[in-house]
Amino acid sequence: MRIVDNMEVESDVFKENGASCPSEAGLKIPERMIKREQDRLEDVERKKEAKKSQSVTEEKSGFFTAAFSSERAAIEELLVGCSGETDRTLATQTLEEVTTRTQQLQKFLNDSMVFLPQYVLSRAQASLQKLQNSLAEKRDEILPKKRFAFRSRATNTPKAGPPSADPVSVITSKDSAETAVDAAISPPEQCGFSHFESQVLTKSGEEIKQQDVLLTHLTNCKVRLLGSPSTVHIKHIQNCEIFSGPVSSSVFVDHCTGSTLSFPCQQLRTHHTTNTQVYLHVTSRAIIEDCKEVRFAPLTWTYPGLDEDFKVSGLDRKRNNWNQVDDFNWLAVGTQSPNWSVIPEAERRTEWD
């Protein structure tokens, strides 16, 4: 911003009025007039900068929309063409290409979030989610389905174990009606665990395959999601450890207490949660609402294959806003919300298994 000295202001003011420069006339300009002129010129500069910044943002947003829409249409065309493939090898190669390009599109969206208007971002996220769902459906249609069993190990406790039904990759539940209410994803696409107590529950990357994952009504359990889910829903959790590989989009937490959570994600939304620690890598900002005693620290949990799962998710490993939390119940600007805090380094967990 250009700083105008007193002599320039004096000269400009008098020239505008058709008078001689004050130094020539031997007059002294009142200080308030000099200050007023400085403020006016500074305001003009600010408006110029704001207009320029807005123009740049609109230009970037327009480029993103055009590039995103073009690539999405190309991927959708590949998926449609894949339906008519009679050669299984060729169909598999096409699916791999679609998977890679979808991951790159996810990364393009993640990298562009900082300058996109909210309505453009929301529309792009919805389009990408629809594309990922179509890819999952096409993969199930073309490739043979496998029946996966999760690994569970009971701890030394007299408490009841899981239901007697044969556990498969879809959610096992004591009450299907209750699960239907809790589920944000509808059968048969459900992937996760429900109604378990004192169990060690694990899903591999091959089982997850960019699906939505639902974890609900778990008590005293240890859950490991080794892979890259599309979205993770965590509901009605008590005294659990839940660790996940990189989540392409959002993690939703609701009614969680006394637990430890750890995951990388694009966005975190937490509701009705108390006394919970979150080891987080998030590329946007975390949001809490109706929460108390929630503490945050940067992600430290790791496992073999984490680097590859980060590539699949499209998340930016260099961008982590783990300590930038928006509390929707705390509107006092400039004052720290009492509902969340940062875990002191001396108290942070370093050993996980």
Which residues touch 29 (CB under 8 Å, ≥6 apart)? 6, 9, 10, 13, 22
**Alpha-carbon distances of 338 from 270, 277, 290, 329, 333, rounded to whole Å:** 15, 15, 12, 10, 13
Q: Tell me how far apart the 2 most distant CA atoms of the chain are, in Å.
A: 101
298 has which bridge partners?
A: 280
Residue 3's pLDDT is 45
Task: Decide if 262 contacts 299 (C-beta within 8 A).
Answer: yes
Flag residues of the chain having pLDDT under 70: 1-28, 50-59, 83-86, 143-190, 353
Let me know whether 202 and 309 are in one domain: yes
Residue 300: inside a domain, yes or no?
Answer: yes
Count up the domains in the chain and report the number. Answer: 2
Let me know whether 202 and 284 are in one domain: yes
Residue 216's pLDDT is 94
Tokens 């089982």 belong to 207
Residue 113's pLDDT is 76
Residue 201's pLDDT is 93
Residue 52: inside a domain, yes or no?
Answer: yes
Residue 29: inside a domain, yes or no?
Answer: no
Let me know whether 281 and 200 are in one domain: yes
Angle between helical axes of 118-142 and 31-83 (0-180°, round to 10): 20
Task: Decide if 263 contacts 232 (C-beta within 8 A).
Answer: yes
Residue 84's pLDDT is 57
Which residues touch 254 (CB under 8 Å, ≥6 apart)? 233, 234, 235, 236, 270, 271, 272, 273
Let me know whether 206 and 276 are in one domain: yes
Which amino acid makes up residue 247? V
| H/E element, 265 | strand 260-282
Where in the sequence is the domain holding 129, given as residue range(s)? 37-142
CATH number, residue 44: 1.20.58.1250
Residue 92's pLDDT is 80
CATH number, residue 316: 2.160.20.70
Task: Decide if 226 contacts 302 (C-beta within 8 A).
Answer: no
Closest CA to 194 of 248, 166, 227, 236: 236
Residue 78: inside a domain, yes or no?
Answer: yes
